[in-house]
Amino acid sequence: MKLNLSTLTVSDALAHMASGDFKSIDLVEALGAAIAVRDGELGAYVSVDLAGARAEAEAADRARAAGKAGRLCGIPIAIKDVLNVRGQPCTCASKILDGYVAPYDATAIARLRAEGAVFLGRTNMDEFAMGGSTENSAIKRTRNPRALDRVPGGSSGGSAAAVAGGLALAALGTDTGGSIRQPAAFCGCVGLKPSYGRVSRYGLTAFASSLDQIGPMTRTVRDAALLQEVLSGADPMDATCVETPVPPYAAQLTEDLRGMTLGVPAEYVVEGMDPAVAQAVQHAVERCRDLGARIVEVKLPHTMFAIATYYIIGTAEASANLARFDGVRYGLRATGATDPLDMYKRTRAAGFGPEVKRRIILGTYVLSSGYHDAYYLKAQKVRTLIRRDFEQAFASCDALLTPCTPTPAFRMGEKTQDPLQMYLGDIFTVTANLAGICGLSVPCGVAPGGLPIGLQILGPAMKEENILRVGHAYEVARGDQWLG
């Protein structure tokens, strides 16, 4: 059977492997060949472990033949280079982790492994997940597979490029302020940011511990549901990971939205927004109405403070989390130092890139004794107001429909000299992380030039089933006109 690697879904691949149309090893060989042909240009992967993937695929094929196929048996998945996979480097796209090899599996990886997934390679990202274009990677540039002069988004840009570019069936990303949803929107794939506490963060290199979540990036909402079922659930290794039972997300998907109420927030319109984005989202809202949903307008009045709040809390937490990279414990250690303090300074000066340094400086400043109350404490209070906005909105609806980003993918280099412009692009995604709720990005159209547009569907905390249901029904009604 001829494999179409740019459109094959996880759920179809599972069905084909179950009926013997092809094996996991065939899939891995085909993807390996596609990576060899195309990844030189795309730059989605920072490393590919074909030998390891072949061994895992063969083990998966044997398990299937023995009637012991796990839920993701033989599915090749690409992993953002911020998650620890035992025996593999984990660079976080930073020079400071040069030479580091992960001694253990992250819980998310262990869960995928237990269900038979195959690990193809590690994807490029903004250094320590700080950025929205993958241009902050210290390793390489990644191109948007739908428009090669554009960024793939970030920070999980390599994962999005791999899925959209036909170089993986699915990928893991992480989302602290939009890093799964925004690259999914830019590259035209599906990205799910789970609720805070839904997925264990054990083995994820921390950026901002109160905001970070791991989630799937896929070609369909059904595939996101399949992966999310495996990823979700309590973990003794992460005390913030909750016990809430995991519903059978994929089995609960429906093709209509009868009985659901969907809110449209008036505040999710900003200056400089691309008219094509507003129009595509408006069409998607109408489509959801046709599917039986009741559409209501909701208010999220504190949205205007979200960027400032996020960039205070996020940098504060980053400055604390990144203190561990000191040349003593992991990776790089600068030579020629005269004493330990000199060694820390030289290592951190040489190891971190400019955006990471900017955030460490900003985060240290907002936590410093003279400014803590004015910035960090104030931001925590505003965070509470933002969370309450959502609680109130969700009192009258099951999910919200918004644009994922104000514009489609921008040109490479366009915003690298202007960090503030880069930050402002995160306006629609950071709110979900601040509130701890879940969010999904689903392709909903293309702007001139064929640039994908993402519909963001936000749901209450621990209600992934709501947003997956909306996303799936919408996706089926939309058809596959912008994919492949």
Question: Which tokens sit at 277?
Answer: 């984005």
Contact code string over 102-131 relative to ligand GLN, x by CB under 6 A: ---------------------------xxx
**Measured from the CB of residue 55, what is the shortest distance to ligand GLN in angstroms?**
31
Told to check if 155 binds ligand GLN by CB under 6 A, we report: yes
Number of residues located near ligand GLN, criterion CB under 6 A = 13
Told to check if 81 binds ligand GLN by CB under 6 A, we report: no
State the alpha helices, DSSP H only, in 166-262. Answer: 181-187, 221-231
Q: Which stretch binds ligand GLN (CB under 6 A): 48-56, 171-179, 270-278, 449-457?
A: 171-179
Contact code string over 198-227 relative to ligand GLN, x by CB under 6 A: ---------x--------------------
Distance of CA 274 to the CA centre of its chain: 23
**Of all residues in this chain, which one has the CB nearest to ligand GLN in the complex?**
179
**Measured from the CB of residue 386, what is the shortest distance to ligand GLN in angstroms?**
16
**Measured from the CB of residue 132, what is the shortest distance to ligand GLN in angstroms?**
4
* Enzyme catalytic residues: 80, 155, 179
Q: Which stretch binds ligand GLN (CB under 6 A): 172-180, 214-222, 389-397, 452-460?
A: 172-180
Binding residue for ligand GLN, selected from 177, 183, 203, 215, defined by CB under 6 A: 177
Contact code string over 310-329 relative to ligand GLN, x by CB under 6 A: ----x---------------
Q: How would you label 454-476 residue by residue, b for 16+ Cβ within 10 Å and e otherwise?
A: bbbbbbbbbbbbbbbbbbbbbbb
Distance of CA 230 to the CA centre of its chain: 16
Closest CA to 471 of 187, 269, 255: 255
Q: Output 425 or 459, the one with its CB closest to ligand GLN.
A: 425
Closest CA to 27 of 70, 47, 56: 56
DSSP code per residue over 380-425: HHHHHHHHHHHHHHHTS-SEEEEESSSSSPPBTTSSTT-HHHHHHT
SS3 content of the chain, % helix, strand, coil (to 5): 40, 15, 45
Told to check if 441 binds ligand GLN by CB under 6 A, we report: no
Q: Please report, for residues 157, 221, 418, the alpha-carbon distance to residue 415 in angstroms, rounded to integers and kept in the order given.
A: 15, 31, 5
Q: How would you label 110-123 residue by residue, b for 16+ Cβ within 10 Å and e otherwise?
A: bbbbebbbbbbbbb
Binding residue for ligand GLN, selected from 132, 165, 263, 363, defined by CB under 6 A: 132
Told to check if 353 binds ligand GLN by CB under 6 A, we report: no
**Measured from the CB of residue 213, what is the shortest distance to ligand GLN in angstroms?**
9
Cα 74 to Cα 113: distance, rounded to the nearest angstrom: 10
Q: Output 32 or 194, the one with its CB closest to ligand GLN.
A: 194
CB 473 within 8 A of CB 436: no
Return the SS3 of 153: coil
Q: Which residues bind ligand GLN (CB under 6 A)?
A: 129-132, 155, 175-179, 207, 314, 426
